[in-house]
Amino acid sequence: MGMLSYAEKNVFNTSKSGGEKDGKDKEDNMADDPLKTKLSLYKTRCLLMMKSMKSSKREIKALITAHPMNLSVLYLKSNFEYMRSNHRKAMKMMGIAPSSSTLFTEAGECLPVMYHNNMGCIHFYLRKHHLGAFYFRKAIQENENALRDITRGAEHNKNLSGKPLHSIGMSRHYELLYNMGIQMLHCGKPVAAFDCLVEAVQVFRTNPRLWLRLAECCIMTNRENNDDDRKLEKRLEVIQGSDGSGIHRKLRLGPGLRTDRVSPGTPAIPASTYEFAALCLRNALMLLPEETQKSDIPNTDDQDGIKPNPESLLVPAPPGNPMKSIEVANLRCSVLAAAAYVAICLNDFTMALQNAENLLKQPRLSGAQRYLGHLYMAEALVALDKIADGIQHLNPELVTDINTLPPEPKSDQDKNEKNEKTEKDKGDKDQETEVKGSFYPWSPRDLTRAKAIMQYNLATAHAIRGEYDKAMANLVESSNYMGTPLPAQMYFLKLYLDLIEGRRKLAQIVIKDHFGHVTPNRENKMTYKSGTPRPDTSVP
């Protein structure tokens, strides 16, 4: 950006005090001077990469006036609307772009690849992920066809007329694989997404976002969502079967839902395992820079008299645009939350405790991440036999927010950027508002259920500590707000508490009500023995 500003001031002899006085002169000069048009195009691309929306809007307005049907200008306008979350308008700009007889631009870009890739990105943000995957697949195919034609022409010394020399051997294969991997992850196909991203990471290994997405593929492969334990096959694992008959009939309780997973090979070999996910998350944390302190920024003015702002520092994340410090802070929270979960799944509770503790110290935590941080930290403390400390993190009163979005920006610059991003044209009815929240339904979906899950974990901690009365009280209150079907863990805990305290009849009622397939003579739900009211069975 500095080189472009230097060229604009010296080559074209423009400055703040002289040169072009208004936008009209700039548009006229742009129409007459193709070099200045190209310089403006580069400047607009840099401004879009820096997410400077106001400056980009001024440049694009001048370009549209001077060259209304220029292909590069229309694509920049579409990118601008895309970054403002006006996805319908961005798609409209892609549709009105003039068709060209050439497949390559002056910069060597393949037009069909650009079109299908951009359409895939737009449909990604419209939550039409399968349609977006279709466009990315078409883009990969067009990229292969273009490279095949160039290679064939180079071998026979023909078909190279009109193609830039640097287009020979140019490929967008890995960028397209990166986009396809993210799209497949949102389609709920983590194995296919893992295959795409693991190939892309060979080129973009310095992108911390890419390492996080690889870890998410591993996590989703082993556990798709938070409601897996409510499935029938999980609940049926509570009672594995029965032996004997008559008065000698015995039931076999399941060992629990936690099973040791033996991963083949070493974590260094890419595979959809928790071990490889832990390696990916460590790489992501190492690539994220430390939080920039204002004292570390030199207090010097640049040529325009503007002091550098730590909020404007950019972190490279190829193939995407550089990340600002606020994006780095949000990404660090996501990486730490995933790292704490993976460490718990690997029974590495010391590392889980360290990651969860670091997570809760982050300044830009969302409500859901703070909720998960307390849960992960409590589980790690209980596993390390620090139950009293773990119980402090399981207080249901701590659950006040489970929003998946990061907190609102507080600095003036962040507020201006947010206003620029969400700025809408009132006369345009085709614009699409930004879809907020996570793609998969976040579970728990409300504060009541979130507190119920916290109370269940609190009941488990009291049970391990031997405080069975407190455990039963929290379990009863949790089951009343958990929603149906109940997770299998709650059946395990209820049977354990009833049997250890000698409430055999209550345990039998739970088994007959919920696991009648392994017990004969299922009792009527409304009576107990000779018509007397049944005990409270609201708890599973």
Provide DSSP, 346-415: TT-HHHHHHHHHHHHT-TT--HHHHHHHHHHHHHHHHHTT-HHHHHHTT-GGG-----SSPPPP-SHHHH
Instruction: Please compute the mean of the pLDDT values over residues 340-347 and round it to a whole number.
Output: 95
Question: How would residue 445 be classed by pLDDT, with cut points 50, 70 and 90?
Answer: confident
Mean pLDDT, rounded, of the chain: 80
Tell me how far apart the alpha carbons of residues 59 and 43 are, in angstroms, rounded to a whole number.
8
Structure tokens at 383: 């596993």
Structure tokens at 528: 């107990």
Q: How far, CA to CA in Å, does 217 sit from each of 132, 201, 331?
A: 18, 13, 16
Task: Express as a percent the part of the chain with pLDDT over 90.
Answer: 42
Higher pLDDT, 37 or 460: 460
What b/e readout covers 213-245, taking b as 16+ CB neighbours within 10 angstroms? bbbbbbbbbeeeeeeebbeeebbebbbeeeeee
215-235 pLDDT per residue, tens: 999 999 998 887 788 888 888
Tell me how far apart the alpha carbons of residues 296 and 312 are, in angstroms, rounded to a whole number.
14
- The CA angle 338-353-442, to the nearest 5 degrees, is 35
- Residue type for position 388: A
315: enclosing H helix or E strand: strand 314-315
Q: How far, CA to CA in Å, does 122 sit from each of 91, 115, 116, 196, 429?
A: 7, 11, 10, 20, 17
Question: How would residue 202 be classed by pLDDT, with cut points 50, 70 and 90?
Answer: very high
Question: How would residue 165 be classed by pLDDT, with cut points 50, 70 and 90?
Answer: low
Q: How far, CA to CA in Å, does 532 sit from each of 37, 502, 509, 537?
A: 89, 21, 14, 14
Listed by start position, the domains of the chain span 1-82, 463-540
Contacts of 44 (CB under 8 A, 6+ apart): 56, 59, 60, 63, 76
Q: Which of 185-189, 265-269, 326-330 has the lowest mean pLDDT?
A: 265-269
Question: How would residue 111 be classed by pLDDT, with cut points 50, 70 and 90?
Answer: confident
Residue 141 pLDDT: 94
Structure tokens at 321: 């645009």
370-403 pLDDT per residue, tens: 999 999 999 999 999 999 999 999 999 989 999 8
- Residue type for position 345: C
Residue 302 has pLDDT above 70, yes or no: no
Contact 108, 166 (CB under 8 A): yes
Tell me how far apart the alpha carbons of residues 401 and 369 are, in angstroms, rounded to a whole number.
10
Count of beta carbons in the 10 Å neighbourhood of residue 148: 10
Structure tokens at 223: 């556990």
Q: Give CA torsion, residues 460, 461, 463, 465, to 10 deg.
A: 170
Q: How far, CA to CA in Å, does 69 sit from each of 114, 119, 394?
A: 17, 19, 61
Contacts of 307 (CB under 8 A, 6+ apart): 299, 300, 301
Higher pLDDT, 333 or 540: 333
Helices 412-421, 53-66: crossing angle, 10 deg rounding: 40
- The CA angle 392-395-400, to the nearest 5 degrees, is 130
Instruction: Please compute the mean of the pLDDT values over residues 245-272 and round it to a whole number.
Output: 73
Tell me how far apart the alpha carbons of residues 319 and 159 are, in angstroms, rounded to a whole number.
30
Phi, psi of 442 (to 5 degrees): -70, 130
Tell me how far apart the alpha carbons of residues 21 and 396 are, in angstroms, rounded to a whole number.
63
Burial of 146 (0-12, 13-18, 19+ CB in 10 A): buried
Q: Which of 126-135, 287-296, 468-477, 509-518 has the lowest mean pLDDT?
A: 287-296
